[in-house]
Amino acid sequence: MSSTPRFFAPPGAWGDGLVTLPPGESHHAVKVLRLKPGDELCILDGSGRLARCSVERFSRDGLVATVRGVESQPRPRPAIAVYQGASKGAKLDDVVERVGELGAAEFWAFDSSRSMVRWTPDKLERMSDRWRARARSAAKVSGNAWVTEVGGALGWNELTTKLAGERTAVVLWEQASELLRPHLPRDPDRVALVVGPEGGLSHAEAEELAAAGARLVSLGPRILRTENAAVVAGAAIAWHYGLIG
């Protein structure tokens, strides 16, 4: 199915042997790729189901495909949750897309004292919708049947509360004296990765996260841009546990 065009349809769009693509996906299939009845396509539901299909017909609701075979992909383990500091421009869009291709389970943005951007509720809602679209696109590109769940943005207190509930949490901090790998346990169900904004985390913030149970770690002597650090660390964690490589 690697060369077959891939599309996303939520679980509610799946019926008895048929799948109806949502409007945006249908438009791409019909108007851009010009698929016609009988053409093959691959459809994922974001929750582990990847189906080999063929175009059945076109309806008012969208392209209807017949399911020819289904592959169920287990959820990658450990699940990797990325907590990314708020950043300017399209940097977070790129992070969502790249960690999505790696198979990250969750993505959260968070606010901190050195964040160079503040979001209004309306803007955050628009950005979250865009991140979800990027996550779906990343799954389709990578062939991952699990779509990264986008959780929106957290305030600082919300972040520390969530990290207190994580059994394994690592925080990239440029002043950390210990490396990432020794703090990755042998067989966890989940790893939370925290990456600060462009201005980094303050000393007080780093101490707060450590007090919540997270480990302060470094990737080594080089300082990476925030949007690159999340991807490099995510890839290192995925490689360490055999999810890639």
| DSSP calls for 22-56 | -HHHHHIIIIIS---TT-EEEEE-SBSEEEEEEEE
Query: Cα–Cα–Cα angle for 119, 122, 128, nearest 5°?
Result: 75
Question: Does residue 149 sit in the same domain as residue 91?
Answer: yes
Question: Does residue 14 sit in the same domain as residue 134?
Answer: no
Question: Does residue 67 sit in the same domain as residue 83?
Answer: no
Question: Does residue 213 sit in the same domain as residue 148?
Answer: yes
Asked whether residue 218 is domain-assigned, the answer is yes
Asked whether residue 227 is domain-assigned, the answer is yes
* Overall average pLDDT of the 120-134 stretch: 87
Please give the share of the chain, as a percent, with pLDDT higher than 90. Answer: 81
3-state secondary structure of 30: helix
Asked whether residue 122 is domain-assigned, the answer is yes
- Two structure tokens written together for 51: 């189906």
Look at residues 49, 72, 95 and tell me which one is the last residue of a structural domain.
Answer: 72
The reported pLDDT for the residue numbered 100 is 96
Higher per-residue confidence, 3 vs 22: 22
Distance in angstroms (rounded) separating the CA atoms of residues 53 and 201: 47
Asked whether residue 108 is domain-assigned, the answer is yes
- Interval 80-122: pLDDT, tens: 999 999 888 788 999 999 999 999 999 999 988 877 777 777 8
Asked whether residue 29 is domain-assigned, the answer is yes
Look at residues 23, 57, 72 and tell me which one is the last residue of a structural domain.
Answer: 72
**Nearest 5°: phi and psi at 80?**
-105, 120
- Two structure tokens written together for 89: 């421009």
Asked whether residue 42 is domain-assigned, the answer is yes
- Interval 4-57: pLDDT, tens: 999 999 999 999 999 999 999 999 999 999 999 999 999 999 999 999 999 999
Question: Does residue 62 sit in the same domain as residue 140?
Answer: no
pLDDT of 163 > 80? The answer is yes
Question: Does residue 53 sit in the same domain as residue 99?
Answer: no
> Residue 60: which domain range?
6-72
**pTM of structure:** 0.90
The reported pLDDT for the residue numbered 133 is 93
- Two structure tokens written together for 17: 């042997």
Domain count, the chain: 2
Confidence of residue 176 (pLDDT cuts 50, 70, 90): very high
The reported pLDDT for the residue numbered 2 is 53
Please give the share of the chain, as a percent, with pLDDT higher than 70. Answer: 99
Q: To the nearest whole number, what is the mean pLDDT of the chain? A: 93
At 42, which CATH number? 2.40.240.20
* Overall average pLDDT of the 234-240 stretch: 97
Look at residues 72, 91, 123 and tell me which one is the last residue of a structural domain.
Answer: 72
At 224, which CATH number? 3.40.1280.10
Question: Does residue 67 sit in the same domain as residue 146?
Answer: no
Confidence of residue 1 (pLDDT cuts 50, 70, 90): very low
